[in-house]
């Protein structure tokens, strides 16, 4: 068995969330290969819990969108964490690491997730 890469909370990675117009994506689910932040790494079982990003500004901003300002490194555009799209995916879906989210931005996402999931 090959050793899987270990990721950490806060890592920004590109994840294949599935092909658009396929049976992999339903309704308003996010698809394609897109940047995501790792909320929790479950590397012992080969899974990560992620929140995907989009650079498309929401038409109706709700509390579950967290704006991440462009920094010229990990984000070349203002982006939005789609906290309502939290997913658990296989590490095999990760294509590459992009960077690390700031502690401040990660805390904003954690706060929204806590409220959204009523934790």
Four-residue CA torsion sign, 42, 63, 70, 28: positive
CATH 2.60.210.10 fits 11-116, yes or no: no
Q: Residue 96 has which token pair?
A: 């590459």
The pair phi, psi for residue 106, each rounded to 5°, is: -65, -40
Over its length of 119 residues, how does the chain's per-residue pLDDT go in tens digits? Answer: 456 678 999 999 999 998 777 777 776 768 789 999 999 999 899 999 999 999 998 888 788 999 999 887 888 889 999 999 999 999 999 999 999 999 999 999 999 999 999 88
* Among candidate residues 9, 15, 55, the one with its CA nearest the CA of residue 32: 15
All structural domains of the chain with their residue ranges: 11-116
How many Å apart are CA 34 and CA 77, to the nearest integer? Answer: 13
């Amino acid at each position: 068995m090959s050793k899987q890469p270990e990721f950490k909370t806060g890592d920004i990675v590109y994840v294949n969330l599935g092909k658009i117009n396929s049976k992999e994506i339903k309704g308003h689910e996010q698809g394609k290969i897109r940047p995501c932040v790792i909320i929790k790494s479950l590397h012992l079982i080969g899974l990560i819990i992620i929140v995907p990003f989009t650079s498309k500004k929401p038409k109706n901003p709700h509390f579950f969108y967290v704006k991440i300002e462009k920094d010229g490194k990990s984000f070349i555009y203002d982006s939005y964490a789609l906290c309502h799209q939290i997913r658990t995916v296989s590490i095999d879906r990760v294509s590459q690491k992009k960077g690390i989210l700031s502690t401040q931005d990660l805390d904003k996402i954690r706060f929204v997730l806590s409220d959204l999931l009523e934790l």
